[in-house]
Amino acid sequence: MTSDGTASRVADMEPESQAEGERRRIAPKGSESNSGTATETAPSPVEAKPGLSVTLEKLRAFYGDAEQVKGIDLDFRANEVTAIIGPSGCGKSTMIRCINRMHEEIPGAHAEGRVLLDDADIYDPSVDVVAVRRAIGMVFQKPNPFPTMSVFDNVAAGLRLGSSGRRGQGKADLQAKVETALRGAGLWDEVSERLSEPGAGLSGGQQQRLCIARSLAVEPEVILMDEPCSALDPIATLKIEELIEELKQRVTIVIVTHNMQQAARVADRTAFMLSGELVEVGPTQEIFTKPNDSRTEEYVTGKFG
């Protein structure tokens, strides 16, 4: 493999109906093994699968000339949940939007530095941005199902987009993938008789899990969650948190939250940001009980923020 082999693999990524093909292009780990074996089936909702790590190197993010994220170095370990905490305006959401290159969609915004999915630089000029966003899914603060689409079509949207212009996948195959995604999001039992109804007609918590199912359908390697429970009631929040614990068996998860109790419940590691900078990162229990920086202690104990 040449020194630019990683960039070449990412550059070749295209939206596909077979997510495993995309994984082979973007994930160097084990990508050469069993290449001649029969096609693998999609993982079940509870089946563990090695995820990919994400590494930020000197990441800076700007809105025009204003620097919002200031040279962050941070590792998100595979198959772990990392919580990002900090006061409003400290750059948490901006940082995670840089991880799947959504930040650059804002007029005048840009990012500098490197974001590595394992060893593949997603900011390499040759990279297919659409493929990056399939590999690194995003769940937003407010549930955003497609309002004119049914529950089924919401989940199938990414699959249909991926197979556009290619050999169409069978109806039974599509139905199976939609069901798998809904089961993976813990929603199947609640909507199996309502698949033709509008997704916008579900409750807030169900809509958020529908959005998670939509992301799961294309089999991402990483899921970014930007305050996914801030608009939900306690029961819906609990379901999302239980789902996060299950999902980390298959994907790497980064969650932005203002809820310290939530971070303590769901995160393996927690990173504290302040004024666009990373103050410290470590095991969640240590961050909340024995932080190294006095600013972290003041924040987690509610003295500011």
pLDDT digits (tens, 9 = 90+) for 147-205: 999 999 999 998 888 665 445 568 889 999 999 999 999 999 999 999 999 999 999 99
16 pLDDT tier (thresholds 50, 70, 90): very low
User: What share of the chain in percent tops pLDDT 70?
Assistant: 82
Residue type, 3: S
Contact 94, 69 (CB under 8 A): yes
The residue to which tokens 């919002």 are assigned: 68
- In which band, very low, low, confident or very high, does the pLDDT at 30 lie, cut at 50, 70 and 90? very low
Helix (H) or strand (E) holding 234, with range, is helix 234-247
The arithmetic mean of pLDDT across residues 260-285, rounded, is: 97
What is d(CA 237, CA 256) in angstroms, rounded to the nearest whole number? 14
For residue 57, report the phi and psi dihedrals to the nearest 5 degrees: -125, 110
- Strand 222-226 with 136-139, pairing: parallel
pLDDT at position 161: 81
DSSP string, 25-59: HH--TTTTTTTTSPPPPPPPTT-------EEEEEE
Which pLDDT belongs to residue 171?
Answer: 87
Q: Report d(CA 276, CA 74) in Å as an integer.
A: 13
Calculate what percentage of the chain has a pLDDT beyond 90: 75
- C-alpha to C-alpha distance for 27 and 44, rounded to whole angstroms: 20
pLDDT score for 304 = 84
Per-residue pLDDT at 4 exceeds 50: no
- Spell out the domains of the chain, with CATH numbers in brackets: 5-26+49-300 (3.40.50.300)
Above 50 in pLDDT, residue 33?
no
What is the enclosing helix (H) or strand (E) of 189?
Answer: helix 188-191
Q: Would you state the pLDDT for residue 163?
A: 60
The model's pTM: 0.82
Distance CA(195)–CA(212), nearest Å, equals 16
**Which pLDDT band, with edges at 50, 70 and 90, does 43 fall under?**
very low
pLDDT at 1 over 50: no
Per-residue model confidence as pLDDT tens digits over 113-137: 999 999 999 999 999 999 999 999 9
Phi-psi region of 161 (alpha: psi -120 to 50; beta: other; left: phi over 0): alpha
Q: For residues 274 and 279, what is the distance between their CA atoms, to the nearest angstrom?
A: 7
Query: Residue 50's pLDDT band (boundaries 50, 70, 90)?
Result: confident
CB-based contacts of 196, cutoff 8 Å, min separation 6? 150, 151, 152
- Check: CB of residue 169 under 8 Å from CB of residue 163: yes
Sign of the torsion formed by the C-alpha atoms of 168, 18, 97 and 122: negative
Has residue 103 got a pLDDT over 70? yes
The pLDDT value recorded for residue 178 is 96
